[in-house]
Structure 1
Amino acid sequence: MAQKPGGQDISNRVGEHLEKLTKVILTGARAVLPVFRTTPKPVLYRESGFSPPEIELDRIALLATVRLRRLDPYHPLRRRAEQIASNGRQISRFARCTLALPNSEQINPLQYAPWYPREPRGNAQARIGAPMGRTKEQAAANFMAFQRTIPSSDIVIFSDGSRLADGRAGGGYIGLQAHHQFLRSSLSYGHGKEVFDAEAEAALAGAQAAIAYPTAQFATNLWICLDNLEVAIRLLSPSTGSSQEIFESFRTLAAAWPLRKRLPHTKSGSIQIRWVPGHAKIPENEAADLAAKEGAASIPPDPHKSSYASLKRYAKTQSLSAAQSQWEKVAPQSYQDLEITTSPKRPGELQLNRLDLGHVIAARTGHGDFTDYHERFNHDDAYLLCRCGARKAPLHFFFCHIAKR
Structure 2
Amino acid sequence: MALRLRRLDVRHPLTMRLTAPGHRTQNGTRLRSADRLLPGAPRPILSPPHYTPGCRTDPTQGIDKETAAASFNDWWNALPSNTVTIFSDGSESYDDAGKHVGYGYAIYQGQALVATGKGALKGLQKALTLPSNADTQRWLCIDSTSVIWCKRANASDTSQWAFLESHRLIDRHAVNIRWSPGHQGITGNEAADSLADAGAKSDIVDPGPTAQPTISGIGSIARSLAHNVTSGWWRKNEPTLSGGYRKMATRLRFEGAYGTQNSLGQLCIDYLRCDPGTATSRLTINVSSMKTQRLTVHAVKLRPRSTLFSVRSRLGGSTRGR
TM class by smaller structure: 0.5 to 0.7
Q: Which has the higher strand share?
A: 2
**Is it true that 1:298 corresponds to 2:205 in the alignment?**
no
Q: Could you tell me how far apart the structure 1 residues matched to 2:30 and 2:163 are? A: 34
The amino acid of 1:279's aligned partner reads H
| Residues 1:329 and 1:185: Cα distance change in structure 2 (over 3 Å) | farther
Q: Could you tell me how far apart the structure 2 residues matched to 1:85 and 1:161 are? A: 40
Residue 138 of structure 1: how far off its partner (Å): 1.0
Hey, what does 2:47 align to over in structure 1? 111
The answer on whether the counterparts of 2:3 and 2:219 sit within 8 Å (CA) in structure 1 is yes
Match of 1:132 among 49, 52, 61: 61
The answer on whether the counterparts of 2:6 and 2:35 sit within 8 Å (CA) in structure 1 is no
**Is it true that 1:233 corresponds to 2:162 in the alignment?**
no
**Is it true that 1:75 corresponds to 2:4 in the alignment?**
no
**Is it true that 1:310 corresponds to 2:242 in the alignment?**
no
| Residues 1:178 and 1:117: Cα distance change in structure 2 (over 3 Å) | closer
The amino acid of 1:175's aligned partner reads I
1:137-156 aligned within 5 A: 137-156=66-85
Hey, what does 1:164 align to over in structure 2? 93
**Is it true that 1:286 corresponds to 2:229 in the alignment?**
no
Residue deviations 1:124-179, cap 9 Å, x none? 33xxxx32222222111111111133221121111111112342211111111142
Q: Could you tell me how far apart the structure 2 residues matched to 1:159 and 1:209 are? A: 12
The secondary structure found in structure 1 opposite 2:44 is: coil
Q: Could you tell me how far apart the structure 2 residues matched to 1:304 and 1:154 are? A: 32
The answer on whether the counterparts of 1:236 and 1:250 sit within 8 Å (CA) in structure 2 is no
Q: Which runs of 5+ in 2 are unaligned?
A: 240-255, 265-286, 294-322
The amino acid of 1:320's aligned partner reads H
Residue deviations 1:280-317, cap 9 Å, x none? 11122111111111111112424822211222221111
**Is it true that 1:175 corresponds to 2:77 in the alignment?**
no
Q: Looking at CA atoms only, which structure, 1 or 2, has the larger radius of gyration?
A: 1
The amino acid of 2:2's aligned partner reads T
Q: Could you tell me how far apart the structure 2 residues matched to 1:135 and 1:152 are? A: 29
Match of 2:20 among 57, 69, 84: 84
Q: Could you tell me how far apart the structure 2 residues matched to 1:178 and 1:147 are? A: 8
Identity rate of aligned residues, in percent? 28
The amino acid of 2:128's aligned partner reads I
The amino acid of 2:186's aligned partner reads I
| Residues 1:324 and 1:222: Cα distance change in structure 2 (over 3 Å) | same
The amino acid of 2:200's aligned partner reads A
Measured on the aligned residues, the alpha-carbon RMSD in Å equals: 3.5
The secondary structure found in structure 1 opposite 2:126 is: helix
The amino acid of 1:141's aligned partner reads A
Q: Could you tell me how far apart the structure 2 residues matched to 1:122 and 1:104 are? A: 27
Q: Which has the higher helix share?
A: 1
Q: Which runs of 5+ in 1 are unaligned?
A: 1-63, 188-201, 258-269, 333-341, 355-405
Higher relative contact order (CA 8 A, sep 6+): 1
Q: Could you tell me how far apart the structure 2 residues matched to 1:120 and 1:78 are? A: 35
**How high is the TM-score relative to the length of structure 2?**
0.65
The secondary structure found in structure 2 opposite 1:107 is: coil
